[in-house]
Each structure stands twice: as structure tokens, then as C-alpha cells.
Chains A and B, each alone.
Chain A
Amino acid sequence: MPNRKNTRRTPLTSRWMWLTLVPLYLFTLVLVLGPLVYMLVLSFETRADMWGVIPQFTLANYQNIFQPVYLNTFVQSLKLALLCTGLILLIGYPFGYFMARLSPRGKKFMTAALMIPFWTNSLIRLYGWIIVLRSGGTLDKVLMALHLTQRPLKLLYTYPAVVVGMVYALLQFMILAVYSSAEKMDWSLVEAARDLGASPAQAFFTVTLKLTMPGLLSGVILTFIPSMGLFFIADILGGNKVVLVGSLIQDQLLQAHNWPFAAALSVVLMLLTSLMIGLYKRVTHTTRLEGLL
């Protein structure tokens, strides 16, 4: 036990405090950095004939991506991700923006109301959409009762069903990111712009949109990246018709047992992610994604 008097000002902290970082370092190095580095190594290795990997350098896995089948998956997945992100932006931005304009009580209520689905198992929420979209399901019943359609639409296991599922699953990320940005905004700037003769639209595009840009961009990243990976949504709502980059990785890993190729696909997806986050940091001059936590 060190002498307490001596250690009061220059605390014994510095002597043992670093120890508290050890578990964090261990987990980060061994279970985050280690696997990611291994993924990179794996992506340059050769697949064994039967099972496993041969440590032999090759670029074949990356060349593989350019095969028409796989390249097409990448393009389709990117298109779907763009479509979903666009829709989420259109729906989520006003939502987050309106939320930020509520009274403190209203804000509290809305954040709580959004938190519950956020914490709810995503499969439960997907299942709800199955009930809504399936042939003869809730949507069909409502539409037929209103005499808008004559027979069931067969919406489940189609492309639009996947889009609905994706938008629904990721919407809250956009809402919370935009909200978090809009809430910190200095609204007097908008008023100033209006006083100086700007129309509401002008004030919005020159002031509000610019100030909420970090939230908007963060929301785009937080929705775009997962919408290429969430294969179970495509699986469950799209049947086998919609294939994402994530589905491809899962397939290569669990069915084809082609680990090096799955690793190469993951590296590309990871690069895309890092690129987007890097750009975000450059543009917004921040280190953290707005509204992430």
C-alpha cells in the first residue's frame, strides 16, 4: 500500500490506472483488429480443394468479383441500397426535423416512442411485415375492403417487399441522426435569414439544410452500408429473388465454403464503408458519426 500523503496530488492513478485499459486493448487488438487483419490476409490466399485454405498468394479472389454473376450482384445490391437510402432520406429527414421543433415534452415522448422499436428484435418487426404483406394479409384485406383491388396483390417475396422491409428497418437511424443535428441547431439563424427577406424555401436550403448536413450525411452512411449487408431481410421478405452483397458473403461462407472469396468481398465492402466514413469526417470536420449513440 503506497503512502497516501505522497500520492495525493500526483496520484497513484498514473501508476495503476493504465491497467484498466488492458482488457479494452486486449479485446480491441485480439478480437477486432486481429480478425480484420486476418480477413485481409485470407482474401489473398488460395482456396483448398476440399476444405480450408492454402497459404499461397493469389489475386484470384479479387478477380473473381469481376465475374458477371458476382459483379451483377454488387451492382444490384448497390442499386437497392441507393433506392432505400433515398427513400429513407425523403421520409426520415422531415421526421427528424419536425421532431426537433417539438416542445421538450414532445421531444421526450417521441424519442421514447422511437426507442422501443429500436430496441425491439428486428425479426419481430420483419414478421409484422410478413403479416401485412402476405397474400390475403392485412394490406390486401384493407385494399379489398375499400374496393381498390379485386384480388390479393401477392406482395410478399417481391422486390418492393424487400424495399419496404429495409426502409422500415433502417429508418430510425436517419431520423435520430437528423434529429440530433437539428436539435443542436441555432434556429435564430433561420429567423435572421427570413428577416433579411429569404423565402421559407430559401431559408431552408441555405441555412437549415447546411446546418443539419452532418446528421443527414451520418444518416445516409448509417442506412446505406447496412442495406448492402442485411441479408436476412432480403431472405425473408424477398424469397430468393433479391440477392445482396451480404447474401453473397453468407453464401460463400456457409454454403460454398469459399472463405477467401468471402473475405475478398468483405474487404471491398469494408473499403467502401471506410471511404464513406472518411469522406464524412473530411466534409463535416468531426470524428463521430452524428446520432450514432
Chain B
Amino acid sequence: MKKKRRISFSTVYLALGLVIIYLPIALVILYSFNESKLSSVWGGFSLKWYRTLFADKAMFQALGNSLILGLSASFAAGVVGTLGAVGFDRVRPRSRRVIEYLTSMPLMTPEIILGMVFMAFFGMLGIPFGMGTLILSHTTFCIPYVFMLVQARLVGMDRSLAEAARDLGAGERQVFFTITLPLLLPAIVSGMLLSFAMSLDDVIISLFVTGVNVNTLPIKVYTALKTGVTPEINALCTLLLAATLLLVGLSMLWGKISRLTGSGR
């Protein structure tokens, strides 16, 4: 009896939590289909804000920029992070801690500081602000995600497979490409998808390192939220949300990793 009641309290608590967590998101979606321009009035179902959105050239440019940025950063982070994790596997224990500390630093550093140091650093080097600086900085903060996921996977990997292949006469390179890499692939893909999502989410760092004429979607949304929103932004958010869902779904299907953020193992 007593036990039953405790379980039901925790269920109610969790359910209520989820409702509150999802409520704001649901409202954004709901009002993207609102005929009225005012988000406090429901004027009936309409797709007109989507039509407005699709006619908005500046918005499309921002979308294009965000996609280019997200794809480049997650791809670069995927390559650098994976190679690094594989190499890290053979590093002597003493150097391991230093490398691990330094690579995970972007995760531990507040975004505002990353943004500030990137801006100051690129400014000092005289690198013109724009897509180049955006890609460099996004790649930098995405690398740790790939690195840590791939490294965790390497630690948990069954080494006997690689050894068996080697005993059967496969060369190191062959072992890597036929055994190790396929086994690591889920972690790599998950890391890259996570990177993509992080890149799409980033406002703070982008705001600092972007050039005058380069807008990303989050920067556009941020400016709109500060100056005044039209339901067009709702429509945009809904589309972004759909993209996010697709990414999460893909990574779960592919990686069979139900937790990217849990304990990692």
C-alpha cells in the first residue's frame, strides 16, 4: 500500500514535469498555424505564416548559412574527433590526462567566454569575420562531443575482434578499416549529429564571431525576439523543431544509443 502510493507520486511528478517542459514548445507550434497576427488571439487555422516564411529571402539565406555551418562543423569535428580518439587510445597514460583535460575544455568553458576569446583571437590575427570564423569556432566546440563519445566507445570495445583479424593476417590499416571503424561508426554518427544540433542551437558564440553580412538562423531568431516577433518566427521554429526531431530519431535509430547525455556508458 505504502509503496504503491510512493510510486504514484513519482509518476505524477515526472508527468507534470514533462508537461511543463513541453508546454512552451507546443505553444510555439500551435501559434504557427494561427490566422491572427497576435499570439494572444486564436484566429483559426492557417498556413499563411509558412507561405510568408517561404517567400522571405533573407530567412532562406540564413537557413542556408546555418546548414552550411552545421554540416561543415559537424563533419570537421567528426573527422578530427574520431582521429583524435583513435590516436588517444595509444597514448601513454601520463599524457592522457593532459590531452583529455585540454580537449574537454570547450565543454567546461562558459559559452560567453568562448565567444569572447574567439572574437578577440580572430581579431588579433586579422582573420576577417564571417563564415570562415564561424566554421572554425563551431568545429572547435563540437570536437569534444565526437571525441568523448568515440573514446567511450573505444574503451568499451571488444578488442578480441581486432586481435583475431590481426592473427588471421590482416594489416593494421585493414583492421582499422574493416573492424575498428565499423564498430565505431554509431558513436561517430551520434557525435556528429549531436554536433550538428549544437551548431544549430548556438547563438552566443555565433553572435561574436559572425561578420556583418552573415546571419545564421539562431541570430535571426534572436534579433526577431528582441525587436518584435511575427508568427513567421513561429513557423520557422516549428520547421527547426521538425528537423531536430528527425536528427534525434536518426541518431537513436542509427546509434542505438538512447543516451547521448546520460552517463555515457
Contact = CB atoms under 8 A, between A and B. Distances in A.
Contact of B172 (A13, A33, A127, A184): A13
B161 interface: no
Interface in A241-293: 245-246, 249-250, 253-254, 259, 262-263, 266, 269-270, 273, 277, 287-293
Given A21-B88, A27-B80, A42-B120, A250 B112 contact: yes
B258 interface: yes
A12 interface: yes
A172 B25 CA distance: 15
B83 to A, nearest CB: 4
Given A123-B218, A124-B240, A263-B116, A293 B149 contact: yes
Given A120-B244, A123-B221, A98 B108 contact: no
B262 A111 contact: yes
A118 B245 CA distance: 11
Given A32-B102, A119-B244, A137-B40, A21 B84 contact: yes
A19 B88 CA distance: 11
A124 B263 contact: no
B83 A23 contact: yes
Most buried by B among A128, A228, A293: A293
A250 B237 CA distance: 25
A117 B21 contact: yes
Interface string A201-231: 0000000000000000000000001101111
B103 A24 contact: yes
Interface string B233-244: 110010011001
Given A21-B88, A23-B79, A277 B108 contact: yes
B107 interface: yes
A20 B83 contact: yes
A179 B107 CA distance: 20
Interface residues on B, range: 35 or more
Contacts of A225: 110
Interface string B125-169: 000000000001101100111011100000000000000001001
Interface residues of A, number: 100
Interface in B99-129: 99-113, 116-121, 123-124
A120 B140 contact: no
Nearest to B197: A119
B262 A246 contact: no
A36 B117 contact: yes
A32 B80 contact: no
Interface of A: 4, 7-8, 11-14, 17-21, 23-24, 27-29, 31-36, 38-39, 42, 91, 94-95, 98-99, 101-102, 108, 110-132, 134, 136-138, 141, 168, 171-172, 176, 179-180, 183-184, 225-226, 228-232, 235-236, 245-246, 249-250, 253-254, 259, 262-263, 266, 269-270, 273, 277, 287-293
The 4 closest A-B pairs by CB, nearest first: A128-B24, A24-B84, A20-B87, A35-B117
Interface of B: 10-11, 13-14, 17-18, 21-28, 31, 39-40, 79-81, 83-84, 86-88, 90-91, 97, 99-113, 116-121, 123-124, 136-137, 139-140, 143-145, 147-149, 166, 169, 171-172, 194, 197, 200-201, 203-204, 207-208, 218, 221-222, 225-226, 229, 233-234, 237, 240-241, 244-245, 247-248, 252, 258-264
